[in-house]
Structure 1
Amino acid sequence: MNHWRSRVLCLCAWGAAMAAHAGSLTVKMVDSQGHPISDGVATIDRAYKPSAPSTHYVDQKNETFIPYVEVVHPGDSVVFRNSDSTRHHVYTFSPLGAFQFILSPGESSPPVALNRAGVIAVGCNIHDHMIAYLVVATDFAEVTTQNGQAHFDDLSPGHYTVTVWHPQLWPGRPPISAAVDVPAEGATQELAFTLKLMPDPRHFVDREHLDY
């Protein structure tokens, strides 16, 4: 019994030591006026090793995909739900894996397995203003919230490269990244990016197919 208790105490002490030496990183995204940017993806070069695949849900409500941007990892699945009173035709022609589903109100699609890394743009073939993005990442990645921030916790102290992406970045530009050193002892490092974005395409409502 004493031997068992000693092992538990050792494990607890090891866990506490690891937590004490883990650092945190906050990534901030703002526009040229300093306004926070939501729905940006911050990726840190630390391989993601899940214990099991996850199922993600993308809803369709008020003729809008929710969320606009979803981070998934290879092996995960996504299910599309129609919470509207109108029919939707979810589709993508992405080379990472094409699919399409016609969903009546209240229906959900079968799970779609996502096995290749990259960005998948998803639309509605009935309502052109509806668009969403699935970011399939092999590294740790987080989506910025309304305050324009993404957080990474329990990072081992060291040198990292952070790459940021947003669906409204101007095409043809090189990737945006920066290096950062994450300290130990529970300290939080901050890294800020200023992005120039195109107008939000979801604001261009497809009047022709309203209430289809």
Structure 2
Amino acid sequence: MPRQFLIRSAALAACCFSGAAVAASGVAVHVADGNGKPLADVVVYLEADGGQPLPKLQNAGEISQKGLKFIPLVTVIQTGSKIYFPNNDKVRHHIYSFSAPHKFDQKLYSGTTADPQTFDKPGTVVLGCNIHDKMIAYVRVVDTPYFGKTDASGEVALDAPPGKYVLKAWHPDIAGGNPSEQAVRLADGPASAAFRLSLKRPASDPDAQGY
């Protein structure tokens, strides 16, 4: 269930460039789990309220393999962006995804020989390795350039022009699978917001049932 929080805004002095005043705006977000513990690797993003078009920046991402792990565990990119998959292990990997937004099968390779994949549909893409079953990673593809990922303290800051947005927060273990959301209005200054997410028990938990 989404939980609404009060958004507080404060004035921020505008910087002047070439004689023109440029106002800064954005939102600082804190995310915790159901027990109030700061939650890392939460994808937080701003979608335009009303569906107006947003810039298409499409910056490339990278997911490497090292120590028989995908690094990072969670990646967020804008729809239409590429992700590169360098293999830093001494063994070869075989990357695949059965997820509807982007199904692919990258055959065994080593080094940097794998072609980048273009993620052209929004949604969640789960990655695996056919050779090493415990390897897993998540890609969240979003239709906005205003996104980030929380650090170990559960914090992330997003920069965006003033306007009305829907702020969303998603984690691979979020209960129900859908992001939590709340409406925000960004003015010419910083704002703050918070989420508390209910999580399902990790699949690695031997006592977890039904996940």
How does the TM-score come out when normalised to structure 1? 0.77
Q: 1:147 aligns with which of 145, 149, 153?
A: 153
Question: How many residues are paired up?
Answer: 186
Q: Which runs of 5+ in 1 are unaligned?
A: 1-9, 205-212
| Equivalent residues of 2:171, 2:179 under 8 A apart | no
Letter in 1 for 2:27: L
Letter in 1 for 2:152: Q
Q: 1:32 to 1:170 in 2, by over 3 A?
A: closer
1:81-120 mapped onto 2 (5 Å cutoff): 81-120=86-125
Q: Encode CA deviations 1:114-173: one digit per residue, 9 max, x unaligned.
A: 2111111111122222111111111222111222122112431x432211111111236x
> Is residue 76 from structure 1 mapped to residue 78 from structure 2 by the alignment?
no
**1:50 corresponds to which residue?**
56
How many Å separate the matches in 1 of 2:195 and 2:182?
9
Q: 1:153 to 1:54 in 2, by over 3 A?
A: closer
| Equivalent residues of 2:95, 2:128 under 8 A apart | yes
SS at match of 1:191: strand
- The more displaced of 42-51 and 80-89 is 42-51
Q: Encode CA deviations 1:41-63: one digit per residue, 9 max, x unaligned.
A: 11212354135x43221101112
**1:40 corresponds to which residue?**
42
1:1-212 mapped onto 2 (5 Å cutoff): 12-14=18-20, 17-19=21-23, 22-46=24-48, 47-51=53-57, 53-139=58-144, 140-156=146-162, 158-171=163-176, 175-184=179-188, 186=189, 188-201=190-203
**1:5 corresponds to which residue?**
none
Letter in 2 for 1:128: D
RMSD in angstroms over aligned alpha carbons? Answer: 2.4
Identity percentage over the alignment?
32
Q: Tell me the CA shift for residue 77 of structure 1.
A: 0.9
Q: Tell me the CA shift for residue 195 of structure 1.
A: 1.1
Q: Which runs of 5+ in 2 are unaligned?
A: 1-15, 207-211
**1:209 corresponds to which residue?**
none
How many Å separate the matches in 2 of 1:170 and 1:130?
22
How many Å separate the matches in 2 of 1:165 and 1:148?
12
Q: Which has the larger radius of gyration?
A: 1
Task: Identify, as 1 or 2, the structure richer in helix.
Answer: 1
